[in-house]
């Protein structure tokens, strides 16, 4: 985003780790994310957005973690996130873009690609082996939600996966052209590829706000 829009807009990042995003009232008895730390962070983020009143809020996160993983599951997370997005729009954020769940891998993507290179001398650009079905399931569930006016869910899995499986490489140079550096975090080149791939879908809206 900085590379595409940094000269046209003020960009601010509000980030944290291991806290379910967009949950307005974090329940203290709902999984590991239900902690005083996460409640304080989420309260701060909602308050900051209310003060700043940005034209556009872009939300990202490892949603499948809070939807499926036993150690991190936050019951009711998907609906709570929808409610949080609706609240932001109701309080004046004109446009909210949910950057959808990415396909994740087990074991980590570098191991999967490395095995192929060692066994076959090359690695396929797309593959089904190792794709975690829970990440694709969470993406489908989120894509089917009624997000309401002013909120748009942009499925990254729909862009990265197809009949041949999910994308693993964005070019022929390894390791820099791996899409992800672990189970799902984009590499530097992967991040640029993902943003540029989605730029046609969300870029028109961003340009209309920032022109």
Q: What is the pLDDT of residues 102-143, one digit of tens each?
A: 999 999 999 999 999 999 999 999 999 999 999 999 999 999
Rounded Cα distance between 6 and 46, Å, is 23
β pairing state of 165-167 and 161-162: antiparallel
b/e string for 98-133 if b means 16 or more Cβ within 10 A?
Answer: bbbbbbbbeebbbebbbebeeeeeebeeebeebbbe
- Taking the chain (211 residues) in consecutive chunks of 10 residues, what is each chunk's mean pLDDT? 63 90 92 91 95 93 95 94 96 95 97 97 96 98 97 95 97 96 96 81 54 48
pTM over the 0.95 mark = no
pLDDT of res. 84: 96
Q: What is the DSSP letter of 180?
A: B
Rounded Cα distance between 170 and 187, Å, is 10
């Amino acid at each position: 985003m900085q590379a595409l829009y940094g000269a046209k807009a003020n960009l601010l990042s509000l980030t944290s780790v291991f806290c379910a995003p967009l949950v307005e009232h974090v329940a203290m008895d709902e999984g590991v994310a239900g902690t005083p730390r996460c409640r304080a962070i989420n309260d701060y983020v909602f308050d900051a957005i209310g003060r700043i009143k940005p034209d556009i809020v872009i939300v990202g996160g490892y949603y499948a973690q809070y939807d499926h993983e036993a150690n991190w599951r936050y019951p009711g997370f998907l609906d709570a996130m929808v409610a949080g997005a609706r609240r932001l729009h109701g309080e004046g954020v004109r446009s909210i873009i949910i950057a959808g769940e990415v396909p994740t891998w087990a074991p980590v993507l570098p191991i999967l690609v490395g095995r192929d290179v060692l066994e076959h001398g090359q690695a396929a650009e797309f593959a089904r082996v190792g794709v975690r079905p829970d990440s694709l399931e969470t993406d489908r569930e989120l894509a089917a939600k009624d997000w309401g006016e002013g909120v748009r869910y942009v499925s990254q899995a729909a862009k990265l996966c197809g009949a041949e499986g999910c994308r693993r490489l964005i070019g022929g140079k390894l390791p820099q052209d791996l899409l992800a550096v672990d189970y799902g975090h984009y590499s530097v080149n992967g991040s640029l590829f993902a943003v540029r791939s989605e730029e046609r879908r969300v870029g028109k809206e961003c340009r209309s706000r920032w022109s």
